[in-house]
Structure 1
């Protein structure tokens, strides 16, 4: 086994996957620290440049968790690190409108109906609600936590832009580890500085669909109130975060302890 790079979550670790970053380094309420080099979050991992591949393989990643839908995975297959286990774990209904942006936005009439006149913002709030309540999301995020607790590490999980599905996954994992909400929101908002590729893609789609950029813009960024929608939905539907974890996700106390023991110094 080669040497494993020691990294921080500052800066761009992979220029061709700009939202790839380490969840390590966060402090918990109990004064412990999330270990670095074990848990990475990312945007899409299908366009890694040749220079980045050496760096990517140097992180010692042994498990890659792909949160995208089957449509996305088939269209743009991941580059899997040397020796890593690959797991496709969707967290959205593959037939839901939001799961197939490319197909939906290629139909200008449907795109205007779904996203026009301020509807994109309402759509984003619905996405975050569904990431907490839908069966696919509950099953997928349960498996993400179980794999982080029990599977080989280091681990990377990702979606396409690495901001929404991955954003809630990171918020869930960090909350389970006892990181303060303020730090979790700050980590979540870092994605906004790493969306140049998403912007380029979405501006092209905007032009092709005939939708004004301001109608599409709410989907190209994360906002604190998007994440707050997920946490509020947790409280509304389950009564508390702990109840969401135990009853919604069905995670055992033993798994949570195993996860904390593995990830915290």
Structure 2
């Protein structure tokens, strides 16, 4: 099982070397068309568009902020950026299209006949919640789920270094960008709070929000825990 940011031109060879047979793409139509996934010959692509029913404005606002210092000050210091991302995390849990996408991910993993890779664009938010769902099915405790969710920060900091550099050249403090470019404990907690409010707990979310039955959950555990004693 592998997770990733968007797959670049060199990824097909890399994925072939580790035997990936299924790639789950969590991105939107626009993202997929602008940067198609490079996959090895014979690998299956499964689309699980988390934002299929949503029009997200965060990326456009972020791009505007990098060009407009006045807008940047408002967007980053007023809490607008953080609220935009928190809204997305609530919808991960509650919105029907997002629920269907995460269900597709779980069912694909449950029925996999080889290594699976799932990815979005940056590999942190949509991919991070997908990893959280899969690990929760495997019985991982919530604190460990949070630790894993936050563990991508060094990788995404490296991925976004050109953006940080461009922002610095425009006089924007690095920490202003963190709500958009870094995962945050508050984002994770926003999703957890939505689960408690809407379903009562994580297991109820899996059963009633994602419609994951016992057989599917057992199959996922078998995939994730293969080789464990």
Change (3 A) 1:134 1:206: farther
- In angstroms, what is the RMSD of aligned CA positions? 2.5
Matches of 2:123 and 2:63 in 1, distance apart?
Answer: 22
Matches of 2:44 and 2:91 in 1, distance apart?
Answer: 28
Give 1:150 shift. 0.9
Change (3 A) 1:115 1:130: farther
Partner of 2:137: 176
User: What is the number of equivalent residue pairs in this alignment?
Assistant: 220
Poorly superposed stretches of 4+, deviation over 6 Å? 205-208
Change (3 A) 1:124 1:66: same
Partner of 1:19: none
Which runs of structure 2 are paired with 1:17-36 in the superposition (5 Å)? none
Matches of 1:116 and 1:174 in 2, distance apart?
Answer: 34
Contact 1:68/1:159 (CA < 8 Å) preserved in 2?
A: yes
Q: TM-score, normalised by structure 1?
A: 0.74
Change (3 A) 1:199 1:180: same
Partner of 2:2: 40
Give 1:184 shift. 1.8
Matches of 1:170 and 1:216 in 2, distance apart?
Answer: 24
Q: TM-score, normalised by structure 2?
A: 0.84
Give 1:254 shift. 1.5
The partner residue of 1:89 within 48, 52, 64 is 48
Unpaired runs of 5+ residues, structure 1, are: 1-38
Partner of 2:18: 59
Question: Does 1:198 pair with 2:160?
Answer: yes
Give 1:42 shift. 0.7
Contact 1:57/1:81 (CA < 8 Å) preserved in 2?
A: yes
Deviation string, structure 1 residues 75-96 (Cα, Å, up to 9, x no partner): 1111112321011211013522
Partner of 1:79: 38
Matches of 1:188 and 1:123 in 2, distance apart?
Answer: 19
Question: Does 1:145 pair with 2:106?
Answer: yes
Which structure dedicates a bigger proportion of its chain to helix? 2
Give 1:107 shift. 4.1
Matches of 1:76 and 1:202 in 2, distance apart?
Answer: 22
Contact 2:13/2:40 (CA < 8 Å) preserved in 1?
A: no
Unpaired runs of 5+ residues, structure 2, are: none
Contact 2:167/2:173 (CA < 8 Å) preserved in 1?
A: no
Give 1:216 shift. 2.7
Partner of 1:159: 120
Matches of 1:84 and 1:174 in 2, distance apart?
Answer: 24
Change (3 A) 1:88 1:211: farther
Contact 1:199/1:220 (CA < 8 Å) preserved in 2?
A: no
Partner of 1:258: 219
Change (3 A) 1:127 1:203: farther
User: Which is worse superposed, 212-221 or 163-172?
Assistant: 212-221
